[in-house]
């Protein structure tokens, strides 16, 4: 009796490789490295975000058996997530630094709203160059005509070095001297009068 030939079962096709998981891992790893580099770290934002998305998709496909390299997809998720956290921390540090600079910069818009008020006053006996500095606002130069009174009210959060220098454009020994005055929170802290150069300074505190 002749038996029909035995048909061997067709081999089970291997699941496709996890290209998305691999791409996510590469992007996440590169983004993580860039995230630790100041300034250059801005490039890491799109890398870690795209890497995280691709790694999650690759992990999902591997979990369903539609792809391999599940471990690589998991590594991509970890690298991308850590890189994203580092980017967020850098953004927070940069934002805090910007806020600190803004708080310490004098503003003449609404001095009363600030923690400290600084009043700069100058009276000229002759046409003079005026240079004043307060905190991060430096080398502010103006021309004040003879016989005029100049003043500037500043509001600051932190008291920094403040100075006024008044020098005549052309010295006239017969003219009235120039004078300057610095008042901090209603209290005079520096006054000077001189025909050559009137200089007032306050070290801050």
Is there a contact between 28 and 55 (Cβ–Cβ < 8 Å)? yes
- Average pLDDT (27-45) is 87
**pTM (two decimals):** 0.47
For residue 65, give both structure tokens.
């058996």
- Average pLDDT (21-30) is 91
Write down the pLDDT at residue 93. Answer: 87
Reported as a pLDDT band with limits 50, 70 and 90, residue 172 is confident
The total number of residues shown for the chain amounts to 205
- Average pLDDT (42-65) is 90
Is 110's pLDDT higher than 80?
no
Which domains are assigned to the chain? 19-104 (no CATH), 111-202 (2.60.40)
Is 79's pLDDT higher than 60?
yes
Residue whose entry in the numeric block shows the structure tokens 């035995």: 6
Cα-based distances in Å from 111 to 119, 153, 158, 167: 10, 7, 13, 27
Reported as a pLDDT band with limits 50, 70 and 90, residue 78 is very high
Q: 139 or 118: which carries more pLDDT confidence?
A: 118
Write down the pLDDT at residue 193. Answer: 93
Reported as a pLDDT band with limits 50, 70 and 90, residue 42 is confident
pLDDT per residue as tens digits for the range 177-190: 999 999 999 999 99
Cα-based distances in Å from 61 to 52, 67, 201: 14, 6, 70
Per cent of the chain over pLDDT 90 is 47
Write down the pLDDT at residue 37. Answer: 87
- Average pLDDT (133-140) is 80
Is 72's pLDDT higher than 60?
yes
**DSSP code string of 143-165:** EE-TT-EEEEEEEESS---EEEE
């Amino acid at each position: 009796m002749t038996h029909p030939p035995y048909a061997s079962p067709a081999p089970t096709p291997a699941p496709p490789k996890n290209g998305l998981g691999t791409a996510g891992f590469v992007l996440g790893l590169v983004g993580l490295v860039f995230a630790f580099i100041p300034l250059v770290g801005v490039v890491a934002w799109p890398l870690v975000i795209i890497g995280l998305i691709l790694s999650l998709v690759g992990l999902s496909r591997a979990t369903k058996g539609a792809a391999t390299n599940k471990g690589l997809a998991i590594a991509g998720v970890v690298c991308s997530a850590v890189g994203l956290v580092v980017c967020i921390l850098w953004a927070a540090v940069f934002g805090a630094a910007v806020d600190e600079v803004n708080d310490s910069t004098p503003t003449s818009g609404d001095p009363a709203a600030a923690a400290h008020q600084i009043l700069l006053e100058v009276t000229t006996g002759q046409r003079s160059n005026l240079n004043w500095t307060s905190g991060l606002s430096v080398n502010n130069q103006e021309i004040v005509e003879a016989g005029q009174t100049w003043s500037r009210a500043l509001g600051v959060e932190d008291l920094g070095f403040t100075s006024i220098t008044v020098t005549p454009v052309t010295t006239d020994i017969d003219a009235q001297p120039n004078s300057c005055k610095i008042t901090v929170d209603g209290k005079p802290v520096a006054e000077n009068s001189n025909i050559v150069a009137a200089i007032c300074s306050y070290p801050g505190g």
